[in-house]
Structure 1
Amino acid sequence: MSQKNLIIAFGGASPEHEVSVLTAMQVIAALDESDYTLTPLYITKSGNWLTGQKLLDLSNYKDLNELEASSTRCAFVKDEMGRTLLKEQEKQGLFTKPAAIPVYAVVTAFHGSDGENGSFQGTCEMFNIPYTGSGVLASSVGMNKVKAKQLCVANKIPVTDSLDFFEKNWEDDQATILKEAEMIGYPLIVKPCNLGSSIGVAKANSKDELIDAIETAFRYDAHLLVEEAIQPLMEINCSVLGSSTDCRASVCERPMGASEMLSFQDKYQSGGNAEKGMASADRIIPADISSELTEEIRELAVQTFKTFDASGVARLDFLVNADTKKVYFNEINTIPGSFSFYLWEKSELTFKALIEELVAVAIQNHQAKNGRVRSYQTNLLNEKAAKGIKGLKGLKK
Structure 2
Amino acid sequence: MSSRNLVVAFGGVSPEHEVSVLTAMQVIASLEEASYNIIPLYVSKSGRWLTGEPLLEMENYQDLDELKKQATPCTFSHDELGKPILLETEKKGFFSSPKRYSIYALIPAFHGSEGENGAFQGVCEMYSIPYAGSGVLASSMGMDKIKAKDICRAHDIPVVQGFDFFESEWVKDQQSILQLADQLGYPVILKPVNLGSSIGVSRAEHEDELIKAVETAFRYDENLMVEKAVSPLIEINCSVLGTVHDLQTSVCERPLGQDETLSFEDKYQSQNGSQKGMASADREIPADISDELTHKIQSLSEQVFKLFRASGIARLDFLINSDTEELYFNEINTIPGSFSFYLWEESGMNMRELMLKLIDIATDQHQKKVGRIRSYNTNLLNEKAVKGIKGLKGTQKKSSDE
Shift of 1:379: 1.2
> 1:97-112 residue pairs with structure 2 within 5 A?
97-112=97-112
Task: Tell me, in whole angstroms, the C-alpha distance in 2 between the residues paired with 1:377 and 1:162.
Answer: 50
Task: Tell me, in whole angstroms, the C-alpha distance in 2 between the residues paired with 1:108 and 1:330.
Answer: 23
TM-score computed with the length of structure 1 as normaliser: 0.97
Does the 8 Å CA contact 2:131/2:359 hold for their aligned counterparts?
yes
Distance 1:392 1:248, change over 3 A: farther
Give the partner amino acid of 2:277: G
Where does residue 186 of structure 2 map in the other structure? 186
User: How large is the Cα RMSD of the aligned pairs?
Assistant: 1.1
Q: Is structure 2 residue 344 aligned with structure 1 residue 344?
A: yes
Shift of 1:148: 0.5
Does the 8 Å CA contact 2:272/2:281 hold for their aligned counterparts?
no
Q: Is structure 2 residue 159 aligned with structure 1 residue 159?
A: yes
Q: Is structure 2 residue 57 aligned with structure 1 residue 66?
A: no
Shift of 1:94: 2.1
TM-score computed with the length of structure 2 as normaliser: 0.96
Give the partner amino acid of 1:180: L
1:314-334, CA deviations, whole angstroms, 9 ceiling, x for partnerless residues?
000000010110110000100
In structure 1, the gaps of 5 or more residues are none
Where does residue 355 of structure 1 map in the other structure? 355
Where does residue 270 of structure 2 map in the other structure? 270
Shift of 1:165: 0.8
Does the 8 Å CA contact 1:384/1:391 hold for their aligned counterparts?
no
Where does residue 397 of structure 2 map in the other structure? none
> 1:380-395 residue pairs with structure 2 within 5 A?
380-389=380-389, 391=391
Shift of 1:386: 1.2
> 1:43-54 residue pairs with structure 2 within 5 A?
43-54=43-54
Give the partner amino acid of 1:39: I
Distance 1:286 1:272, change over 3 A: closer
Task: Tell me, in whole angstroms, the C-alpha distance in 1 between the residues paired with 2:160 and 2:128.
Answer: 39
Which moves more between the two structures, 332-341 or 369-378?
Answer: 369-378
Task: Tell me, in whole angstroms, the C-alpha distance in 1 between the residues paired with 2:173 and 2:156.
Answer: 32
Where does residue 322 of structure 2 map in the other structure? 322
Task: Tell me, in whole angstroms, the C-alpha distance in 2 between the residues paired with 1:136 and 1:297.
Answer: 25
Task: For residue 133 of structure 1, give the secondary structure of its aligned residue in structure 2.
Answer: coil
Distance 1:283 1:392, change over 3 A: farther
Q: Is structure 2 residue 34 aligned with structure 1 residue 30?
A: no
1:255-306, CA deviations, whole angstroms, 9 ceiling, x for partnerless residues?
0001111000000000151100000000000000111111110111111111
Q: Which structure has the bigger radius of gyration?
A: 2
Give the partner amino acid of 2:61: Y
Shift of 1:207: 0.7
Does the 8 Å CA contact 1:105/1:131 hold for their aligned counterparts?
yes
Shift of 1:388: 4.9
Does the 8 Å CA contact 1:384/1:392 hold for their aligned counterparts?
no
Shift of 1:390: 5.1
Task: For residue 374 of structure 2, give the secondary structure of its aligned residue in structure 1.
Answer: coil
Task: Tell me, in whole angstroms, the C-alpha distance in 2 between the residues paired with 1:380 and 1:355.
Answer: 45
Does the 8 Å CA contact 1:133/1:311 hold for their aligned counterparts?
yes
Task: Tell me, in whole angstroms, the C-alpha distance in 1 between the residues paired with 2:155 and 2:308.
Answer: 10
Shift of 1:392: 5.8
Shift of 1:387: 2.2
Task: For residue 271 of structure 2, give the secondary structure of its aligned residue in structure 1.
Answer: helix
Shift of 1:308: 0.7
Task: Tell me, in whole angstroms, the C-alpha distance in 1 between the residues paired with 2:135 and 2:183.
Answer: 37
What is the number of equivalent residue pairs in this alignment? Answer: 392
Distance 1:301 1:80, change over 3 A: same
Task: Tell me, in whole angstroms, the C-alpha distance in 1 between the residues paired with 2:392 and 2:144.
Answer: 39
Does the 8 Å CA contact 2:7/2:105 hold for their aligned counterparts?
yes
Shift of 1:368: 1.2
Give the partner amino acid of 2:374: R
Distance 1:94 1:316, change over 3 A: same
Where does residue 147 of structure 2 map in the other structure? 147
Q: Is structure 2 residue 214 aligned with structure 1 residue 245?
A: no
Task: For residue 97 of structure 1, give the secondary structure of its aligned residue in structure 2.
Answer: coil
Where does residue 209 of structure 2 map in the other structure? 209
Shift of 1:95: 2.3
Where does residue 200 of structure 2 map in the other structure? 200
1:156-203, CA deviations, whole angstroms, 9 ceiling, x for partnerless residues?
111000101111111111111111111111110000010000000000
Task: For residue 363 of structure 2, give the secondary structure of its aligned residue in structure 1.
Answer: helix
Give the partner amino acid of 1:102: S
Task: For residue 132 of structure 2, give the secondary structure of its aligned residue in structure 1.
Answer: coil
Where does residue 134 of structure 1 map in the other structure? 134
Give the partner amino acid of 2:258: A
Task: Tell me, in whole angstroms, the C-alpha distance in 2 between the residues paired with 1:211 and 1:389.
Answer: 59
Task: Tell me, in whole angstroms, the C-alpha distance in 2 between the residues paired with 1:342 and 1:392.
Answer: 63
